[in-house]
Amino acid sequence: MTDTALAPAFEIRPPGFWRGLLHIAALELRQRLRSRTLLVLAIVWFCLIGVVTGAMWLWLSAMSGAYGQGFDSYPLFSVIVYFVLLFGTLVAPAISAGSISAERSGGTLATTQVTLIGTWSLLLGKALAAWITGFAFLVVAAPFVVASLLLSRTDPLQLLVAVLALALQIGVFTVFGVALSAMISSQVFAIVTAYLLVALLSIGTLIAFALSVGVSTRYVDITYQTFSPSYWNAVDACSAGSNDEAAIARCTEAVPVECVTEATTVPISPTSGIWWVLTPNPFVIVADMVAPRADGPRSSDDLFSGISTLVRGLQDDRAQAQAWSDCPAPRNAPAAGSAETGAPVWWIGAAIQLTLAVGLLWAGHRRLRTPAAKLPRGARVA
Amino acid sequence: MEPAIEAVGLSRSFGEIPVVHNATLSVAPGEITALVGPNGSGKTTLMLMLATLLRPDRGTVRIAGRDAIADPLAARTALGWMPDALGVWPALTVRETLLAVCGMYGLRGAAAAERTDELLAQTELAELAGQRSNTLSRGQKQRLSLARALVHRPRVLLLDEPASGLDPEARLTQRRMLTELAADGVAILVTSHVLDELDEISTGVVFLRRGLTTAPEAVDAALQRGSRWRIRSLDERALVAELDRLGIPATSRASLSGTVHLIDAADEAAAANALSALVAAGVPVVEFSPASSALEQAFVRLSHPGSESATAPEEPR
């Protein structure tokens, strides 16, 4: 060709994928740092989480004082981490879903696309910048998260896992936001859609699960063995008019066991087919990642263990489907131990979320690619 | 010489509406070509396709010899584009903006700083280097936008309305800059509604009407065709009398410099004949000039190809 005649005075080389990505992220972060709104938001956030931590600690100490127990603020850690997650889900769409549509409406998107920055560098650089911004809110909250860890005497390993889990969730939500802002021209609509998507995961999964359970509940007639009324009458008679505990016990032992078979209708809600609906819920993922192992000494004292145990237990229908028998020997329902058979669920939820994020990024990339094949009606790429 | 910008048979429609239809143009290195056409004629769409931002439905684009559709990245290394929308990163200063664009072309560190200083000097933005770009005036943003398009020393410049909103002095500066760039061998395609502006700097013209480029021969003919001329004389009565005697119909109009008379001439030779007749008759003519620029006349003619008698609007000077 005539490249020699038209060669530029100095060599121009494309910055490449990684350098381009970091350049876009740095450019975005520099602009974010200049704006005052983020600083104000961070200060408000710091005060808010401080108040929540203090109030929660007062509440727990007053409660344990009233019941004369040794002071145990173990649940504090899970409450604070959940509060950080809640804030993350509320802030992530706001700091991410405007990043590309703002440049589009500001007229700076096309001037970037016409340079040697690749579309993936642009998209992922924006996502990285939004993620780092979200992570900054985590850092602002760090003093209180660490304080709650110390107060509740939690395993430091849990703190590490909690930070990882929160970073993962905030990262996923910011990627959603950036991808949506690439796909949707209107900045307001992109942000609203990002909020709806986060709400779909946080609340929508709960609604979907509850409705599925309701729809699939069957009412079955079962028979069960129980003590006959005459047996209970005889036992009652033993304690009537006597205060001698030993005598009552002897009398009760002597009552002949008499069993009857009775029928009743119970609702059965098989959850083994739909429990996975709950897994992409960010609160479930964090709980299941951070919860201490179920066989630990404090397996159900905090929010994380409670939720984790519950969701893992849903994988197994046997607990509720079994007919039971009180007679001849009273037995407890076979609940104990069955929950531990459930497998960890966080990775399933994380996989669903990541699939969604990758799909949205791909769609965003298609929309952002130049030369553009399609334009929405009335839109100018400049 | 191979053209630096070459578009053949470019077509693009949005939905069912064809916006650019079979557009063909070519610009040689060192040439400034004006892309003119009425509003909504598809100029910006054509520019976007040349700038590798919009994929044509049909046709080919070569920028500096590289296929801009198959390999946009190669074309972009040689391509500078200044859009009609003046977007700036509001939080960044002028210098930071240019440094950021340098990074997008793979320039870093000292090389980027050096290039930024050059551009600041070239576009006379050095004094504003530390100012936030959202505090710039429209004219200053225009200069920043042009500097941004020049970061990588492109061999091809696509400028969409670069002069809109500029004051006369800024226009002069910009015109000088573009002429210098062209002298360095840069191929420039520029759209503008200020046709006088283009008339002075451009060496070629592409006319776009309803998404269709007009054949170069038709444009040449339209540029050559005579039209309305304005005459001003120190002795107005002598002028009127002589025009009357020569049988040249004239209309008079007041202007800033006094009353002027407008005559229609079939071509330039007829205009020259009329002038020599007036001078020979002793009429003190101080001004004899086209009532509007050649490009303006051609614009009006080509915009209304049906009406043969169409004449350029009379624009007071």
Å from B93 to nearest chain A CA? 10
User: Are A371 and B52 in contact (CB < 8 Å)?
Assistant: yes
List the 74-113 stretch of A: residues with Cβ below 8 A of B.
103, 106-113
| Kind plus residue range of the DSSP H or E element containing B44 | helix B43-50
Pairing of strands B5-14, B58-63: antiparallel
Give the amino acid at B96: E
For A13, the closest of B55, B81, B106 (CB atoms) is B106
User: Are B104 and A30 in contact (CB < 8 Å)?
Assistant: no
Å from B90 to nearest chain A CA? 8
**Cβ neighbour number for residue B218 with a 10 Å cutoff:** 14
A114–B contact, CB cutoff 8 A: yes
Helix, strand, or coil (residue B163): coil
Residue of A nearest to B49 (CA): A371
Please give the Cα distance from B100 to B148 (Å, whole number): 10
Encoding tokens for residue A244? Answer: 């001698």
- CB contacts, 8 Å: A107 with chain B: 83, 85-87
Please give the Cα distance from B156 to B64 (Å, whole number): 7
- CB contacts, 8 Å: B69 with chain A: 371
Residue of B nearest to A25 (CA): B100
Residue of A nearest to B156 (CA): A6
pLDDT tens sequence for chain A (382 residues): 333 344 445 678 889 899 999 999 999 999 999 888 888 999 999 999 999 989 988 888 887 777 766 556 677 888 889 999 999 999 999 999 999 999 988 889 999 999 999 999 999 999 999 999 999 999 999 999 888 888 877 778 888 999 999 999 999 999 999 999 999 988 899 999 999 999 999 999 999 999 998 898 888 888 888 888 888 888 888 877 777 778 788 888 878 888 888 888 888 888 888 888 999 999 999 998 887 654 555 555 678 888 888 888 888 776 565 566 677 665 444 444 444 557 788 999 999 999 999 999 999 999 999 888 876 544 554 4
Residue of A nearest to B50 (CA): A371
Q: What is the rounded end-to-end Cα distance, in angstroms, of chain A?
A: 31
User: Are A3 and B160 in contact (CB < 8 Å)?
Assistant: no
The CA–CA distances, whole Å, from A334 to A10, A141, B191 equal 78, 42, 81
B213 - beta bridge partners?
B208
Residue in B215, B208, B191 with CA at minimum distance from that of residue B12: B208
List the 13-32 stretch of B: residues with Cβ below 8 A of A.
14-15, 29
Q: What is the pTM of this model?
A: 0.82
pLDDT, position A185: 86
User: Are A380 and B44 in contact (CB < 8 Å)?
Assistant: yes
A12–B contact, CB cutoff 8 A: yes
User: Are A1 and B87 in contact (CB < 8 Å)?
Assistant: no
User: Are B69 and A110 in contact (CB < 8 Å)?
Assistant: no
DSSP string, A178-218: HHHHHH-S-HHHHHHHHHHHHHIIIIIHHHHHHHHHHHH-E
- CB contacts, 8 Å: A9 with chain B: 153
Å from A169 to nearest chain B CA? 29
* A10 φ/ψ angles, rounded to the nearest 5 degrees: -135, 165
Beta-strand runs (E) in B121-160: 156-160
Å from A40 to nearest chain B CA? 17
Residue in B310, B40, B7 with CA at minimum distance from that of residue B191: B40
Cα-only R_g, chain B? 23
Encoding tokens for residue B149? Answer: 């398009």
Residue of A nearest to B134 (CA): A106
| Kind plus residue range of the DSSP H or E element containing B219 | helix B216-224
pLDDT, position A368: 92
For A12, the closest of B83, B85, B105 (CB atoms) is B105
Residue in A15, B226, B158 with CA at minimum distance from that of residue B145: B158
Alpha helices in chain A (DSSP H): 3-6, 17-34, 36-66, 75-96, 99-106, 109-113, 119-151, 156-183, 187-199, 205-216, 229-239, 245-254, 282-290, 303-313, 318-321, 346-368
pLDDT, position A70: 59
pLDDT, position B306: 56
Please give the Cα distance from A49 to A87 (Å, whole number): 9
Beta-strand runs (E) in chain B: 5-14, 17-27, 32-36, 58-63, 66-67, 79-82, 156-160, 187-191, 204-209, 212-213, 228-233, 250-255, 258-264, 285-290
pLDDT, position A231: 84
For A370, the closest of B53, B78, B92 (CB atoms) is B53
Please give the Cα distance from B98 to B119 (Å, whole number): 8
Please give the Cα distance from A370 to A177 (Å, whole number): 21
Q: Which of A111, A113, A366, A368 to mutate to test the interface with B (most CBs of B within 10 A)?
A: A111
B43–A contact, CB cutoff 8 A: no
B40–A contact, CB cutoff 8 A: no
Å from B176 to nearest chain A CA? 21
Report residues of chain B scoring pLDDT below 70: 1, 224-226, 305-317
A35–B contact, CB cutoff 8 A: yes
User: Are B55 and A373 in contact (CB < 8 Å)?
Assistant: yes
- CB contacts, 8 Å: B84 with chain A: 382
Question: DSSP code of A70?
Answer: P
User: Are A116 and B106 in contact (CB < 8 Å)?
Assistant: yes
Please give the Cα distance from A173 to A93 (Å, whole number): 7
pLDDT, position A155: 78
The crossing angle, in degrees rounded to 10, of helices A156-183 and A119-151 is 150
- CB contacts, 8 Å: A126 with chain B: none
pLDDT, position B62: 94
Residue of B nearest to A381 (CA): B53
